[in-house]
Structure 1
Amino acid sequence: MSFEPKTQAFNSSISSVTIGTGDKAVTLGGINVLPFYAFDAPITNAPKIGVEITDHGMAAYPQAGLQEFYAGCQTVADMAKRVETMHGASFICLHFEGADPNGDNRSVEECVEIAKSVADATDLPLVIMGCKNIEKDAELFTKVSEALQGKNILVFSAREENYKSVGASAVMAYGQKVGAESAVDINLAKQLNVLMTQLGVAPTSIVMNAGSAAAGYGYEYVASTLDRIRAAALAQSDTQLQMPILTPVSPETWSVKESMVSEADMPEWGSAEERGIEMEITTAAACLAGGSDAVIMRHPAAIKAISEMIEALV
């Protein structure tokens, strides 16, 4: 008697959210199976990888592999153009670290000019990541959304403290997409999605950021949250949890001690750059296996490895 596998495709599905325009536009979500369960049903939209570049430019990337890849780039826009050649890159995440009032306090006007230069330099979809300051991000997202109207960008992310201003401006006024960021808790994630939709933001304009952490740094909470969100969305048909998930991996993995401690301080740990790459690969793979529809990464070697993993599994 031959073996007949029992498939489990769900009646519910993850919403499709498209960012970018033209041939390079990217659709996140739109699947009705568990992560990489291609044997249950076709995975119409494979997971995507976004490449993080920051407003600090090359100064933020001292690693040899990054210096080599971006060699010759003088501006952030140059770096964005170079990303187009990176294996596995689907979109660009422009991270405005320098806008932080407790850091460089880069003005919103200067950030807008950088965002415009990046948008002019590449056809890849654009995600705008803020500096984690509630007030500064709300103003930044509004001004960038206005300046890039028609580009179908994703502002990443709105939180409970500023979702009204970000949702009303970025999505409802300027037609962009928005990330809904919560702190690694399924109930908080659902609550923010409810608040956003009650505000008038369409579910097809919302991408979730359900929280992130580097592998080994409380990642079990991230894993369980991703699992529960995906199960509720597909098995329980919870429409308020059916938005696709985008997880920012690189800001977490390149800021932990395993990636930052020098080889002089910890020679037994080996190459610092290799440690960072391995941390990024491990975390991104775990996020995608848990239910993320896209991850944001930094190092070309890590991105190539995850891209090959995706290609092998879908």
Structure 2
Amino acid sequence: MAFKMSVQDYKGKINEVEIGKGDKAFKVGGEEALSFYSFDGAAGQTPKVGVEILDIYPEEWIPALQELYKDVANNPAEWAKFVEKELNPDFICLRLIGADPNGLDKSVEECAEVAKAVAEAITLPLVVAGTGNHDKDAKLFEKVAAAVEGKNVLVLAATEENYKGVGAAAGLAYGHKVGAESSVDINLAKQLNVLLGQLGVKTEDVVMHIGCSAVGYGFEYLISTVDRIRLAALSQNDKTLQMPIITPVSFETWNVKEAVADVEDAPDWGCKEERGITMEISTATSIITVGADAVIVRHPKSLETVKKFVAALA
């Protein structure tokens, strides 16, 4: 008797969300089965890989990255153009850490002008991330959403504390996509999606950021949470969890001890730069295989490796 492979029949489908404008705009999501399980159903859109840049000089980044961007790092628009031309990511993530009240505390108007300059300097889709300070981000994203009107950016992210302000500005007033940020918990992710829906933000305008951690740092809990979200979305047809997932890998992996310890302090660990790259690649590839539809990385070698990984699996 010939072998007949069993097929898992899923009831649900992940929404497709379009980010960007023009020829380089792309969609994320669309899966009708678990990631890369094309034998069970449609695999959806290929996962996308973006590169992080900052609105200020990257003082805390490793010397190798500072050297790479030394001619452009003081000008975010030029930095973005350099990344688009030289590195060829799927998108660019502008992180507005200059607005952090615990840092430079730049005005939201100044940061909005930076976001506008970056959006106009590139043809790639743009993701704009905030400071992590919920109150400041609510004010920041209101100005940023207006400044980049018509660019269809992904604003990362709305939280339970500020979703009304962020969702109303980005998702309703100016027609952008909204990142829904929760803390590695399926119930919190679902609740925030429901709240955004009640606010009036369309489900096809929401991308989930359910949290991130570097491999070895509670990463198995992140993996299990993504698993539960995807199984609920597909097997149970839970429409409140059928949003694509974006994971800002670089925000976490370059802060752990394996990536920041100097060679003098940990001689057995080897090259500091290579350690950081390894942490970033390991985290990004792992979360993609579980369900992330887009990831954000920092190092060009990470970008190259993860893109090759995705192409080989797709």
Preserved CA contact (<8 Å) 1:38 1:313: no
Q: 1:174-213, aligned counterparts within 5 Å?
A: 174-213=174-213
* Letter matched to residue 31 of structure 2: I
Matches within 5 A, 1:93-172: 93-172=93-172
- CA offset digits 1:9-41 (Å, max 9, x no partner): 523110011110011111110111101112333
- Aligned partner of 1:83 in structure 2 is 83
Q: In 1, distance between residues paired with 2:30 and 2:9?
A: 13
* Alignment of structure 1 residues 27-106 onto 2, 5 Å: 27-64=27-64, 66-67=65-66, 69-70=68-69, 72-73=71-72, 74-85=74-85, 89-106=89-106
Residues 58-107 of structure 1: CA deviation (Å, up to 9, x unaligned): 5453332x345435325111111122235561111100112110111121
**Maintained 8 Å contact 1:54/1:60:** no
Structure 1 residues 9, 75: CA separation in 2 closer, same or farther (over 3 Å shift)? farther
> Alignment partner of 2:85: what SS?
coil
Which 5+ residue runs of structure 2 have no aligned equivalent?
none
- Asked if structure 1 preserves the Cα contact closer than 8 Å seen for 2:62 and 2:273, the reply is no
For 1:199 and 1:58, locate their aligned partners in 2 and report how far apart those are by CA, in whole Å: 36
CA distance in 2, matches of 1:88, 1:12: 33
Contact 1:88 1:307 in 2 (8 A): no
Q: CA deviation at 1:169?
A: 1.2
Identity %: 54
CA distance in 2, matches of 1:185, 1:92: 27
User: Could you tell me the TM-score, scaled by structure 1's length?
Assistant: 0.96
Deviations along 1:228-272, one digit per CA (max 9) or x if unpaired, are 000000000000000001011001000111101111111111001
The one-letter amino acid of 2:306's match is I
Measure how far apart 1:221 and its partner are: 1.4
CA contact (8 A) 2:32 2:44 kept: no
Q: Report runs of 4+ in structure 1 exceeding 4 Å deviation.
A: none
Deviation at 1:275, TM superposition (A): 0.4
Match of 1:5 in 2: 5
Q: Distance in 1 between matches of 2:211 and 2:86?
A: 26
Report which stretch shifted further, 9-18 or 247-256: 9-18
Question: One-letter code of the match for 1:212?
Answer: C
Deviation, 1:4, is 2.8
Q: Which runs of 5+ in 1 are unaligned?
A: none
Matched residue SS, 2:295 = strand
The match for 1:305 is 305
Please report the RMSD computed on the Cα atoms of aligned residues, expressed in angstroms.
1.5
Separation of aligned partners in 2, 1:87 and 1:232:
36
Between 41-50 and 80-89, report the one with greater CA deviation: 80-89
C-alpha separation between the residues in 2 aligned to 1:16 and 1:60? 36
Residue 31 of structure 2 contacts residue 44 of structure 2 at CA under 8 Å; is this kept in 1?
A: yes
Q: Which of 48-57 and 128-137 deviates more? A: 48-57
| Alpha-carbon separation, structure 1, partners of 2:287 and 2:37 | 15
